[in-house]
Structure 1
Amino acid sequence: MYFPTYTTTHLEDWVSDWYLKLHITTPSQLMAYTIARKYETFLHRKPVSPHYEVFGRFRAITVDSRRTKEVQREQFYHEFCHVLRHVGKQTMMTDAFRKLQERDARHFTFYAALPYHMISQYDINNPHLVNQWAKDFRVTTELCRKRLQQIKERETQYRLNKQR
């Protein structure tokens, strides 16, 4: 284990457990079409803003085909969170509830794109870790950098709390 003082969140554990139930254990298995298909969700790539639709049993996610494959993958995770975890039509809900769902989808994107049970196999001290994650998980270096920062901040907080 390369993150000895890192404590996962409930959402992070939920995402890893969810992947493990689907037998997704390596970055190469993180394929948007396959994940969408397992949840009977259509995935479309069109030159429009990313969004999701749920009408009864019909579920669809559209990602912006004008963006890079890495950005499209991140858009998929964000929209998939809404399909998988949220209810209601965002245009009809209060601003606070909509913001809460968006925050959850942002966090879900980190954890679904770079799940703990996979990234914990990497050496956090590797100076090329961000680029390695971006290559292996096929996401942007920006997302990888933010995920690594999140991990390091949580480890620092753990050490500070332990000193008290």
Structure 2
Amino acid sequence: MKVFYMKQDSKTIIKKNKIIIIVNNTISYRKQRQELAEEFCHTLLHIGNQTNYFNTINLDKQEQQAKRMAAYLLCPIYILKNVSVSYDTYMLVDELADTFNVTTEFMQYRLKLIWEQDLDMIICNKGVFYGYIPIE
């Protein structure tokens, strides 16, 4: 497998059992990490050329599968459980994103996979973590 950073959309090319991942070099480093992880996950999860898909439902499904796997890869639950949050306090999603070197939006996506809702922060109360949704 080879990875190239180029001025074009990120994608994976598989030819004759050789894998090339191209990552867009015009986006932020954090976004590059996420796209590299997603493209890597495509190589593990999917076979074939996505550009030949006329059915966007299949393409959307594959993109969601790769994004979900990338979230598990970049923000694994065993490390999330060990994030240092002071006892009986909170940590903003932005701070978690900094800890895992991902974008805030990606961190929100990962937390949504855990708590099945959009979160602004996690709260530690008596050693137990909770997701927090502000009341509007």
The partner residue of 1:131 within 94, 100, 103 is: 94
Alignment pair present for 1:52 and 2:12:
yes
Residue in 1 that maps onto 2:126: none
Provide structure 1 residue ranges, at least 5 long, that are not aligned to the other structure: 1-40, 155-164
Distance 2:61 2:105 in 1: 23
What residue identity is the alignment partner of 1:142?
A: E
Residue in 1 that maps onto 2:39: 79
Q: Structure 1 residue 81: deviation in Å?
A: 1.0
> Deviation string for 1:12-53 (max 9, x for gaps)?
xxxxxxxxxxxxxxxxxxxxxxxxxxxxx1111111111110
Q: What's the TM-score, normalizing by structure 1?
A: 0.61
The structure, 1 or 2, with the larger RCO (C-alpha pairs under 8 Å, 6+ apart) is 1
The partner residue of 1:113 within 59, 66, 74 is: 74
Choose between structure 1 and 2: higher strand proportion: 2
**Residue-pair matches, total:** 113
Provide structure 2 residue ranges, at least 5 long, that are not aligned to the other structure: 118-136
Residue in 2 that maps onto 1:88: 48
Q: What's the TM-score, normalizing by structure 2?
A: 0.72
Closer, same or farther: CA 133–102 of 1 in aligned 2, 3 Å: same
What residue identity is the alignment partner of 2:59?
A: R
Closer, same or farther: CA 56–151 of 1 in aligned 2, 3 Å: same
Distance 2:41 2:67 in 1: 9
Closer, same or farther: CA 128–59 of 1 in aligned 2, 3 Å: same
Distance 1:72 1:54 in 2: 20
Q: Structure 1 residue 129: deviation in Å?
A: 4.3
